[in-house]
Structure 1
Amino acid sequence: MSEITAPTPRTGTLWGISLGPGDPGLITRAAWAALQRRDTVWVYPVRSGKTPSYALDIVQRAELPPPETHTPLLFPMTHDGEKLARAWLKAAQTVLPWLQAGRDVLFLVEGDASTYATFGHLARTVRGLDDTVPLQVVAGVNSFTAACADLGEPFSEQDDTVAIVPAAYGVRAVDRLLPDFDTLVLMKIKPLIDELLDWLEARDLLAGAHFVERVGALDERRLSGPALLALRGSKVSYLSLLIVKNPHRVRGERIKGCLKKTPEPTA
C-alpha cells in the first residue's frame, strides 16, 4: 500500500498594492478589491518609530478597515547602504513566515509600487531568502501625473520629452538635462529646495515651474511661477516635487531630422 503524503502548502504571494499619491479616490478598482480581502496580512512602510504611515493613512481615509493582522515595516530615511540593507532584511524576515505559511501579504504603497517605491527593495530581499515566493504588483497613479491633473497642466503632449529625476543627483545634473527635455519632474526635492529656486531664477524657468507638496492629501500645497520664491528658507515635506516646463525647447525642432530616411548606399 502506497504511503499517502500531505499536499505541499501553497506559498503566499507578496503583493505591492499601489494606493495613488494621497487622494483615496485614486485607489484603483484592482487595489480596492485586494484590500477588501480579510484573509491577508497588511504591511506598510514607516520612516521612523514616531512617524505614522502615509500609506496606511490613505486607506484609513478611504474607510477601508485593516485585516486582523497588520504591522508597520521600518524603512529609515538614510543613504547609508548598510543601515538600509539591515532594515530591508528585517522587513523581509518579518513577512516571510506569513508567506511560507500560505498567507498573502499586501504591502501598501503610496503612489505606484514600481516608481521610486520601497516595495522593490522588500521584494528583492524576500526573493533572496526564498525564491519561490510569487510577486504581484497592482499599478497605481503616480504623484507627478496626479499633480499635473490638479494643476491643469499637461504632463506631456505630442512629441514632448520628459525626464523624471531624483533631485538628490544635484542641480548640476539637472541642469545638464535641460536642453534635451520639455518637462523635468524633480522628485525628493526637500534637501535642495533653495538651490533649485536659485537655478529656476538663473535659468528663467520660474514661469513654467510648479511645486506640489503631498498631492491628494488633505494638506496638499501648490505654488506656481514666481510664488515659488516664498519657499526659500522654509521646510518642505519629503513628499514634494517640482514640475518644470522648459520654455527654451521649440516644438518641431526637438525631433528635427528624426523622420528623414537614411540614404541608400551607393554602389
Structure 2
Amino acid sequence: MHKTGKLIGVSLGPGDPSWITRRAWEVLSSSAHWAYPVREAGQTSYALEIVRRGGLPVADDATELVFPMTHDAATLAKAWGNAAKQVCEKLHSGKDVAFLVEGDASTYATFSHLSSAVGSEVPDLEVETIPGVTSFNAAAARLGQPLVKAHERFAVLPAGYDLATVERLLPEFDTLVLLKVKPLLPELIDLLQRHNLGGSCAFVERAGTDGERIVTDPEQMRSLQANYLSLLLVRNPDRRSS
C-alpha cells in the first residue's frame, strides 16, 4: 500500500519571483503536483503568475482550486469541500501536493483553510508550510524604511476593518499596516489627515511586480483606483511609549 502524499503550502512572496525561497523553489522543481487558487473558474491565478515569471514551467495537469470571494457560509463550505476532494485524490495516489500561495502561507492565506479541510478527510495528513515574504515586509523594503525600530509597536489589520478601528489604534502603535485598502482608501486618507498623519503614510500596490505602484502624496492617494493587492503603511512619529 502506497504512502499518502504530503500537503505543502508553498509561499511565493508578494510578486517578485526572486523573493521565492530556496525551499519553495526546491518543492516547485520536484515531482509534487501543483494546485493553485482562483476566485472563479478559469480566472487568472496571481500565485501561478508569480511562478511563471520566475521561469518555472507549469504542468498541464496543475489543479485549479476555486475559492470564491464571498461571506456566504454555504457557498464557502461547498468550495472548501470541493477543493479538499480534489487535493485528497492526489494525496491518496501517493503524490505530494504543492499549494501555491501569494505572500506567506501563514499570514491571512487560504492555505490554513485548505489544510484544515483536507485534514478532516485525511486524519494522518502530513503538512509542511514554507514561509515567505509578506506584502508589508516587501513594502517597507521597497520604501527603504524600517517597518519598526527598537521598542516600537506595530499592528497589521486585515481586510474588513472599519474607520473606527483604525482611529482607535492610531495612538497605540508606531506603525499600522492596513491591508487591502481599496474599498476605504479616500476615507482612510481623510482620517489620517485629520490626525496630521497624511504625510506619514505610504500606499504600495503589487509590490515586486511590473505593476508596482508606490505613492506617498496623500492627495494623489485619495483619487487612486486601487488594486485589490494594495496596502497602506502608516507611521505615527508622535506616539509616546507607555
Measured against the shorter chain, the TM-score band is over 0.9
Gaps of 5+ in 2: none
Q: Which amino acid aligns with 2:176?
A: L
Maintained 8 Å contact 1:167/1:192:
no
Are positions 1:57 and 2:49 aligned together? yes
Are positions 1:173 and 2:165 aligned together? yes
Q: Give the alignment partner of residue 185 of structure 2, picking from 162, 187, 193.
A: 193
How far the C-alpha of 1:211 sits from its partner, in A, is 0.4
How far the C-alpha of 1:248 sits from its partner, in A, is 2.1
Q: Which shifted more, 127-136 or 107-116? A: 127-136
Equivalent positions of 1:118-157 (< 5 A) are 118-157=110-149
Q: Which amino acid aligns with 2:138?
A: A
What corresponds to 1:28 in structure 2? 21
Separation in 2, partners of 1:85, 1:182: 38
What corresponds to 1:162 in structure 2? 154
Q: Which amino acid aligns with 2:153?
A: T
What corresponds to 1:83 in structure 2? 75
Runs of 4+ in 1 over 3 A off after TM superposition: none
What corresponds to 1:46 in structure 2? 38
Instruction: From the CA coordinates, give the structure whose radius of gyration is larger.
Output: 1
Q: Which amino acid aligns with 1:132?
A: D
Structure 1 residues 88-111: Cα deviation after superposition (integer angstroms, max 9, x where no partner)? 111111111110111000000011
Maintained 8 Å contact 2:199/2:218:
no
RMSD value, Cα = 1.3
Structure 1 residues 204-225: Cα deviation after superposition (integer angstroms, max 9, x where no partner)? 111110100011111100001x
Separation in 2, partners of 1:50, 1:206: 40
What corresponds to 2:234 in structure 1? 244
Separation in 1, partners of 2:230, 2:191: 17
Q: Give 3-state SS (helix, strand or coil) of 1:91's partner.
A: helix
Percent identity among equivalent residues?
A: 48
Structure 1 residues 155-205: Cα deviation after superposition (integer angstroms, max 9, x where no partner)? 111011010002422010111111211000001211111211111111111
Q: Give 3-state SS (helix, strand or coil) of 2:160's partner.
A: helix
Separation in 1, partners of 2:63, 2:182: 28
Separation in 1, partners of 2:85, 2:162: 35
Q: 1:50 to 1:198 in 2, by over 3 A?
A: farther
How far the C-alpha of 1:75 sits from its partner, in A, is 1.0
TM-score, L = length of structure 1 = 0.87
How far the C-alpha of 1:86 sits from its partner, in A, is 1.4
Are positions 1:17 and 2:7 aligned together? no
Gaps of 5+ in 1: 1-7, 256-267
Count of matched residue pairs: 242
Q: Which amino acid aligns with 1:160?
A: E
Separation in 1, partners of 2:32, 2:61: 8
Q: Which amino acid aligns with 1:239?
A: L
